Each structure stands twice: as structure tokens, then as C-alpha cells.
Amino acid sequence: MKLKNTLGIAVGSLVAASSMGVLAQGQGAVEVEGFVNEYFTDSSRNYAHDEGSEYGGSIGYFLTKDVELALAYGEYHSLNGDSALGNKDIKGSQTDLKALYHFGEPGAGLRPYVSGGFAHQSISNTVAGGRNSSTLATVGAGAKYYFTEMFYARAGVDALYNIDQGDTEWQAGVGVGLNFGGAAPVVAAAVVEPEPAPVVEEPAEIVRVELDVKFDFDKSQVKEESYTDIKNLADFMNQYPQTTTTVEGHTDSVGTDAYNQSLSEKRATAVRDVLVNQYGVGGERVDAVGYGESRPVADNSTADGRAVNRRVEAAVEAEAK
């Protein structure tokens, strides 16, 4: 009964240990188990009872996520034998080495299995009161239920063929155990091609050059001091050859409308000629137009205001590269 008490403590320890955390099952995992088997004996060794109990434990190692190699040891109890000396308490043990193949995927839930292997059985107080040692071939089937990745319960049946004596015995049992995780199962992840990043076009920077050329009263000649400003406009247009411009001429209010219209056109033409003839801007890219005194930007009643109105204006815009 001491072994039964020890097994009860072991089972309790397994349940308590399962609360420590979840470990991954799979290749490289180790399982330890405590078990109880009901042993159904043959009739050739004169047992008074044709069944008894085996208590023991096992340790297994997963060679793959499905294949486990397990070593078990158990001791027999509650067997009696009929010998020439009378009924005897039969003492014995059995050591198993078997391979188990598990079905299904590792993880919480049910995993059926089949098993096969060999065992060595040693029993005392048999027919002649001596010790009987036998080599057994074993096959079995059962199922494990994993309450968590770590803690499980098992039930199974094994057939034990006695190679030495040529008869077959059976045992059915239950057990509880712990799985100390190995490699987590690899789940193939779908390869998702990243969507190409949207092309964000940055807004084009608009650059602008303006020209404001002033003229003396009743004159259409371009003053020397204005050539630098005209050249800046020409350089810009040569840098951006897709650009065009219109040169606009203006006058103050002194004189008749017709005279001022003609004078404004001459002023516009004079600036155009400098752009085209001196600074190389294509003639097809520059228009000249006069507006006379119709578009003043200052007060024509003052001398300063009239000086501001005697002008030629132009502007060019382009998208910066």
C-alpha cells in the first residue's frame, strides 16, 4: 500500500505542476507519467487470481512531433500463485521499451496513439515457487487527452506476447503525465506581398520672374540701367525653354489717347527687341502689346505717379526642376 500512497502523491504533484505554465509540445519534448494497469494473466503459471494490478511510471522522448520513445517500469500487486507449497503472494516487475505513434497535431485536445515494443518481466513464487523471467513483445493502442499543452491523461490497452512461453496476456491502464515542451510546431505562414507604396507626387514648385522697366517722359528708348533686369528675365527664359511671355507697354496720361497707345507699343517693342536680339530669347516666345494710358498703377495727377506709370511690365512662371 505504500506504493499506492506514493503514486497518489505523484499524481497530485503532476496536477499542481501543470499550473506552472504552458510549454510547447513537439519534437524534443519529454513526457513523464504515472500509471496503473489492470493485468490479465495467462493460465499456464497457476495463478490463483487471473488478474492483478501493476503500478509504475514512465519517461518518454519525442523523436518527432508524432513519434515517442518511452521507457516504463512497473511492479505487480494483488497476484497469488498456486504452487506445491500453497498459495503465495506473487512479487514481480516489468520493464518496457516501446515506441508510440501519435495521431493529430500537438496541442491541447485528444491524440490517439498506437504502440509497439519489447518488455522484460520478472515474477517470483510461480509454479515451482521460483522466479520466472520472460521476454515479451508488446503492441497497444490508446489515447491521450491534453488538458493543456503540458498536462494530460491517458487510457490504453496492451497485448503482451510471451516469446519464451508462447502465450499472450493483456493489460489495460490509465495514467496522468506532464509534457515538458520541445520545439513548437511550425506553421507555414502565407507569404503576403506588400502592396507597393503609393507614389506621392510632391507639388511642383512654381518660380516666377517679373520685369518692370521705367521710361523717361515721351521716350521709348530702354535706359542702360534697365538692361540688367531684362537680362535676368532672358536668363530665366533660356533656363526654362518651354516658357513664353507678353511684354506690356504703358504710358502716363499726358497726351492724346492715340498718341499714348502708339508710344506704349513702341516701349513694349523696344524691350522685346532687347530680349530677342541681345539676349537670345526666341522671337516666337515673346509678344509685345501696348495699353496706352488705360492701366495706370499710380496717380497721374502727380509727377511721381506719372513716372511710375511710364513703364513696361512682363512676367514669366515655370515649374522648378
Q: pLDDT digit string (tens) for 58-84?
A: 999 999 999 999 999 998 877 665 544
For residue 191, what pLDDT is reported? 73
Instruction: Give the right CATH number for 206-319 from 2.60.40.790, 1.10.240.10, 3.30.1330.60, 3.30.450.70.
Output: 3.30.1330.60
What the block records as the C-alpha cell of 188 is: 507555414
- Average pLDDT value for residue range 2-10: 45
Mean pLDDT, range 204-232, rounded to an integer? 92
**Beta-bridge partners for 83:** 86
Residue 46 contacts residue 66 (beta carbons within 8 Å): no
- CATH fold for the domain made of 2-180: Porin (2.40.160)
Give the contacts of 186 (CB within 8 A, at least 6 positions apart): none
Residues of the chain within CATH 3.30.1330.60 domain(s) are 206-319
For the stretch 141-191, pLDDT in tens is 999 999 998 899 999 999 989 898 788 888 899 999 999 876 554 555 667
Residues of each domain in the chain carrying CATH 2.40.160.20: 2-180
Most confident of the following: 21-25, 87-91, 114-118, 205-209 = 114-118
CA dihedral 42, 43, 46, 49 (to 10 degrees): 70
Each residue's pLDDT tens digit, 79-129: 665 544 445 566 788 999 999 999 988 888 999 999 999 999 887 765 555
For residues 26-34, average pLDDT: 91
Strand partners, 146: 109, 152
Report pLDDT digits (tens) over 247-288. 999 999 999 999 999 999 999 999 999 999 999 999 999 999
Q: Longest Cα pair distance anywhere in the chain, in angstroms?
A: 157
Is the overall model pTM greater than 0.75, yes or no?
A: no
Phi/psi at 250 (nearest 5 deg)? -140, 160
- Reduced to 3 DSSP states, what percent helix, strand and coil does the chain have, rounded to the nearest 5? 20, 45, 35
Q: Whole-angstrom Cα distance, residue 160 to residue 164?
A: 12
Q: What angle do CA 149, 156, 36 make, to 5 degrees?
A: 90
Work out the percent of the chain whose per-residue pLDDT is above 90. 56
